Amino acid sequence: IIPRAEFWKTVKNKKVERPFVLVNAADEEFPICIYKNNDSYTASLLKCTHRGCELNVGGGIYSCPCHGSEFSTEGKVLEGPADQDLKTYKIETDNENIYIYLF
């Protein structure tokens, strides 16, 4: 469970919304990125589907430092050598929280 407030930070007395939040799940060896696009959220495991390197988040995509694969923030392959989308998780939201279903 991630409080929606996690997406907000205060910079110089101004509230600024973050595009994503990283979380660690006990059963996963890689972080999960919760990315906000407009009013919807996507949760993707930051494990490259090519050979399993941890992905970087930046510039509105996930990129792999090992061989250059790129994925959209919805977890879809944009650029190989990876040919499979990222593992994503079901999400539900209410006014206060984001619920990520890990099973």
Interface residue with ligand FES, options 43, 45, 48, 100 (CB under 6 A): 48
Instruction: Name the minimum Å distance from CB 97 to ligand FES.
Output: 32
C-beta closer to ligand FES: residue 57 or 91: 57
- Asked whether position 44 contacts ligand FES by CB under 6 A, the answer is no
The rounded distance, in Å, linking the Cα atoms of 81 and 95 is: 39
Q: Are 96 and 4 in contact (CB under 8 A)?
A: yes
From candidates 4, 36, 50, 87, binder to ligand FES by CB under 6 A = 50
Q: Using the rule CB under 6 A, is 4 a contact of ligand FES?
A: no
The per-residue DSSP string of 13-69 comes to TEEEE-SEEEE--TT-SS-EEEEEETTEEEEEE-B-TTT-PBPEEETTEEE-TTT--
Q: In the set 54, 57, 81, 97, which binds ligand FES (CB under 6 A)? A: 81
Under the binding rule (CB under 6 A), the answer on residue 82 touching ligand FES is yes
Report the C-alpha gap between 88 and 3 in whole angstroms: 19
Residues that bind ligand FES (CB under 6 A): 48, 50-51, 53, 64, 66-69, 81-82
